[in-house]
A = this chain, B = another copy of it.
């Protein structure tokens, strides 16, 4: 059994705590407006000091930016209509900073300002582990994904996946009883693929579905990589079971790396092109997985440390980011000792320092601010 999920240790400019319905509507209006994605949302709020002033400034901003026509700004009525329609089928709205907003997701860069959830909220309270892979998976990999999902479910994890055909569906199905989380590329009212509507109903019994898109949003091609960012952002780690050379699962793995999540890959024969992607991940340093114990062994220390962190629910209103829980002197010097002029991956640092990814990020932030480290691409850092 793995212990429960640690509390978040970073906050964003959105205040922590409950939201009035008015505040929630404003958040929804801003993120549902044309040309506003999570990154722009946070930049606007930071620049104008809040969601309301950002909404007010939006039209003038577009004009000054040289927009030929005014971008569509989500009206109060449209936002209310979405809330009403979605809530009618049991969808809940969580804005960033609210206590029920997913704990790990708030730690990523530019977290979604609003996520919508249908099903059992409790499924998110347990440690989340993603299992993803090809849609046209081999029978052997489907079988392996089922075994892994069942074992990780029984060990206390909620299995996260993308509701796609192949590996995703196998992972969800094998963890229906222990709770599984489907991350949607579209809205809750536009389940894709349609053949998985029944599977989703089964998922909702003990698990949940989550989305950052409008209730009635029909997913388009580029919504799937965006969905993948959510899959990794929600989870402690991502297990890629099978992936060909240019598989979408590799995008999830890349996000996981950037977000400081553990990346796991299931090895496969070099003669099988469907394993090219996972074997490539192994060459880049992903942790090999042949059984659930491999995942648990890598995640347990992170959780164990995470649990001992004090609660971080009390940052002040509109406080800026990065008020991390400070790492001990001991950990700091251990990390500095591990660092050198040769770039090393943050993943390796976490592993070698035997501490949590959160602590490592926090120490790196201090060192960065002190001008003592250099960040390279691909999650590599070195001492200056």
A21 to B77, CA, bound (A): 102
Stretch in A29-37, A53-61, A282-290 touching the partner: A282-290
Smallest Cβ-Cβ distance to A284: which chain B residue: B288
CA distance A287 to B287 in the complex (A): 12
For A268, what are the chain B residues with a Cβ–Cβ distance below 8 Å?
267-269
Residues of B within 8 A of A370 (CB): none
Q: Identify which of A266, A272, A279, A287 gathers the most chain B CB atoms within 10 Å of its CB.
A: A279
Task: Check: A223 CB closer than 8 A to any chain B CB.
Answer: no
- Which stretch of A173-181, A195-203, A251-259, A337-345 is in the interface? A337-345
Interface presence of A144 (CB below 8 A): yes
A354, closest chain B residue (CB): B342
Chain B residues with CB under 8 Å of A267's CB are 267-270, 275, 279, 282, 288
Residue of B nearest to A281 (CB): B288
User: Please, which residue of chain B has its CB at the minimum distance from the CB of A339?
Assistant: B337
- Which residue from chain B places its CB closest to the CB of A141 in the assembled complex? B269
Q: Write the chain B residue with the least CB distance to A383.
A: B337
Residue on B with the closest CB to A280? B290
Interfacial chain B residues near A342, Cβ < 8 Å: 334, 337-338, 352-354
Per DSSP, chain A at the interface is mixed
Instruction: Tell me, yes or no, whether A140 is within 8 Å of chain B by CB.
Output: yes
- Lowest 4 CB-CB distances: which A-B pairs, in order? A337-B340, A267-B267, A270-B290, A282-B288
Contact B271 A144 (CB under 8 A): yes
CB of A143 within 8 Å of the partner chain: yes
Contact A340 B341 (CB under 8 A): no
Task: Tell me the bound Cα distance from A268 to B267 in angstroms.
Answer: 5
Task: Establish whether residues B282 and A270, one from each chain, have CB atoms under 8 Å apart when the complex forms.
Answer: no
**A352 CA / B347 CA spacing, docked (Å):** 14
A177 CB, nearest partner CB in chain B, Å? 23
A291 within 8 A of B: yes
Q: Which residues of B contact A140 (CB under 8 A)?
A: 269, 271
Asked if A294 lies at the interface with its beta carbon under 8 angstroms from chain B, I say: yes
A267 to B271, CA, bound (A): 10
Q: Kindly state the separation between the CA atoms of A268 and B282 in the bound complex, as whole angstroms.
A: 12
- How does the 8 Å CB contact mask read for A321-346 relative to B, with 1 for contact and 0 for none? 00000000000001001111110100
